[in-house]
Amino acid sequence: MSTRNAARANLEVGGRSYAYYSLKSLEPDYPLARLPYSIKVLLENLLRHEDGQSTTRADVEALAGADFRKLAPRDINFTPARVILQDFTGVPCVVDLAAMRDAIARLGGDPAAVNPLCPVELVIDHSVMIDHYGSKDALDLNARIEFQRNRERYAFLRWGQEALRNFKVVPPDTGIVHQVNLEYLARVVFENDGLLYPDTCFGTDSHTTMVNGIGVLGWGVGGIEAEAAMLGQPSSMLIPEVIGVRVTGRLAEGATATDLVLTVTEMLRKRGVVEKFVEFFGPGLAGLSAADRNTIGNMAPEYGATCGIFPIDGETLNYLRLTGRSEEQVAVVEAYARAQGMWWTPDAPEAEYTDVLHLDLGTIVPSLAGPKRPQDRVPLPQLGADFRKALEAEQALRPSSGPATVDSGGERFALGDGAVVIAAITSCTNTSNPGVLIGAGLLARKARALGLASRPWVKTSLAPGSPAVTGYLAKAGLLEDLEHFGFHVAAYGCTTCIGNSGPLDEPISAAIQQHGLCVSAVLSGNRNFEGRIHQDVRMNYLASPPLVIAFAIAGTTDVDLTTEPVGTAADGRQVFLADIWPSNQEIQAEVARSVTAELFRKSYAGVLTGDARWQSLQVAGSQTYGWDPDSTYIRHPPYFEGMTPAAPGIAPIRGARCLAVLGDSITTDHISPAGSIKKDGPAGRYLTAHGVQPADFNSFGSRRGNHEVMVRGTFANTRIRNALTPGVEGGVSRCLGNGGGPVEPIYDVAIEYAAAGTPLIVLAGKEYGTGSSRDWAAKGTLLLGVKAVIAESFERIHRSNLVGMGVLPLTFAQGENAATLGLDGTETFDIDGLAPHAAEVGVTATRADGTAAAFRARVRINTAKEWDYFSHGGVLQYMLRQMAAS
């Protein structure tokens, strides 16, 4: 008898009977108490999907009996209950589904067969930009511009909503995807036709892990993996190591949830948790609110883990009630968690982990992180010194000639290195946490009472994750205090943190560029990679919302706010941070008074309805999409062109040239097109040739449905450094052979190689592909003609996405890299021994003088299912052939 059949049981809740698959049916052979919470969720997933084929009894038993202290490699499948998308990554997902409908028709199948097989919810939140700020009409003006820029994209999503089953769209200007997920979409326990099971999800934003804070196992995947899950493909993965973090103590006075997550990020990056689960436990959980837990879960991509999860407990139920869930749902969550051994109490037995780290909340101190990576924590007293050290390194490359005298907004001022030109309360990391937002409002109230103001060169913005935030800030009477410092609500969406910071005032931007100034941004976000926040801003610091306001007042990061004044009061005396910082007791009292369930219920009452602009969109109902050949937003992608019913198999890689030689910590921000589109770059020239004026270029993110734009922006980051073009910064390369060609944009070089029929590779260092789960980092790589990437190590999501697009990920042997092997990228590369399930390949790099360097490289195709995808040319082709055959 299968374990699945023996495990089916009934659960009575509130007079209703539900079915579920009981983990306790596996006892006493496999004691559940020793298993981490996250592994219990995976185990239930295997048990429920056991079919004797893709998931077997042996898989269930292997996971139930795994020794996480000494884990043996083994593949398992994971099938998420749902998929959540944001519009930047969601649009190309829907584009691919539309193209698959066309392709399956050509292969003799039914287009209507291409539908999501699980619930898919797309939240439009990444398209709004901070064009207007510092005024009460900023929200409406930005929303209006957003709709004008993106009307075609939004109409396409409306088509998808009507044509595709199991697909819902949350309209623009409603909230940030992860906050909407937490406050409205998350079920914690799923109910489907009377069957209960854990709510699990894949998301096309790496910060999908935010929902880990309330016990929902989910993580970020590329759009490629998301599409596979949408179409019923289980995700193949190795049984993960689980790193436990034992939490003790309580946060000290003055320490915020932001300070906590920056410390956790630093600690776990040092430990190394890439491709591992992280699970929090211990007595300190009793003092951590769900909002604080969510904030920690959000930053899992920054510390490199697949997830950063907390168990279900009484605080989970408190959060569900606070955010307006029904008492019936709350009762089901509690009853199910208790029945499955997933309920946590302070006296619960502690599970067995691969390793255990210790976190004393009482040691957390006010901090920032930066200026270029979220794991580089800087205690607040050290910020000035840290900035000056970073400035010295920057000026060695690009010396400034500041300060500059600037006239802007009716004021004249000196603008120098370290000036804070962007101060933004943004990103789901913190705008879902009432404690830090109420804290920011209280700091603004105290500072306003003393006559302080933001400095005139600071672009300020407040982009809450949902209207509920505006509701409780208004109820607390704090909106006017925030607005006094220019923090008017400017958008409901992901703005500065994703690079949608909008333009700086022209005189400020001109001064920065003309004088080479090294200016700063301070934001309450989770990402601060090079070139991400704004192209004029080299120093970017993550901070809590109260500190964002403090730095808007101080106007510089070349300061120690623990000993130097924030500003000068109306009476002329110096004001220090301690004078305006609210106490924990003040914050907690205001949160208890102002943050209510009724606010959340009201905010989400019409969440799928949208405003008049959204409702005015008219789309033709049809099973296949009517592609507009003149569109510069939505284009039919080329992935299925010339596709045959049979898989092409694995082709050899011979005579390859290197497109780029890259260093360590190359992020998906470096690889994937992001931010504004330069008019003189390949993408800008393409748009201009198609009649688009520079003012209407919009962003790369908004044009993810057009592969022609996106491939031209791949590797085009202004801060990327390619060793093939030493001394030149930006997305450029050289076409080698015959002595080597001139320095050109990477796209132009790739086109020259394609015309000659030359395959390409990329050489890279450690942690290649760190950052957001951007499918275009893999799609663009493929479309440039890259067949393989050889790196010292990969970040989890990007490695998986490369496989999903049919690009071969290889790693150098331990202790080796391009430099130790004497490679400079000018060689010709042959890769031998590539066959299904090969663990290694041989690489021969032949130099121009005929000498060669031969080395072994590890194949990073990790599972049998990934080999299936790779041999078909990618996961989409694999699924399409499966559907056509059936």
Global pTM reads: 0.86
Per-residue pLDDT, 795: 86
Return the beta strands (E) in 574-679 as ranges: 574-575, 653-661
pLDDT tens-digit series, residues 305-327: 999 999 999 999 999 999 999 99
User: How many separate helices (H) and strands (E) can be counted in the chain?
Assistant: 31, 34
Do 81 and 197 contact (CB within 8 A), yes or no?
A: yes
Q: Which long-range contacts (CB under 8 A, 24 or more apart) does 399-407 make?
A: 399/516, 400/515, 400/516, 400/517, 400/518, 401/515, 401/516, 402/511, 402/515, 402/516, 402/517, 403/515, 403/517, 404/511, 404/512, 404/514, 404/515, 404/517, 406/457, 406/507, 406/508, 406/511, 407/507
Instruction: Give the pair of three-digit tokens for residue 336.
Output: 């199910």
Phi, psi dihedral angles at 39 (to 5 degrees): -75, -35
User: At residue 752, does pLDDT exceed 90?
Assistant: yes
CATH class of the domain comprising 82-363: alpha beta
Strands 120-123 and 82-86: parallel
The arrangement of secondary structure in 374-595, i.e. its CATH architecture, is 2-Layer Sandwich (3.30)
Q: How far apart are CA 503 and CA 131, in angstroms?
A: 6
Per-residue pLDDT, 1: 56
Domain range annotation of the chain = 3-72, 82-363, 374-595, 653-885
pLDDT tens-digit series, residues 102-122: 998 888 888 888 899 999 999
Residues 376-393, buried b or exposed e (16+ Cβ, 10 A)?
Answer: bbbebeebbebbeebbee
pLDDT tens-digit series, residues 258-282: 999 999 999 999 999 988 999 999 9
Q: pLDDT band at 500, cuts 50/70/90?
A: confident
429: number of Cβ within 10 Å? 33
82-363 and 374-595, same CATH topology = yes
Per-residue pLDDT, 773: 58
DSSP bridge partners of 830 = 844
pLDDT tens-digit series, residues 678-697: 899 999 999 999 999 998 89
CATH class of the domain comprising 653-885: alpha beta
User: At residue 587, does pLDDT exceed 70?
Assistant: yes
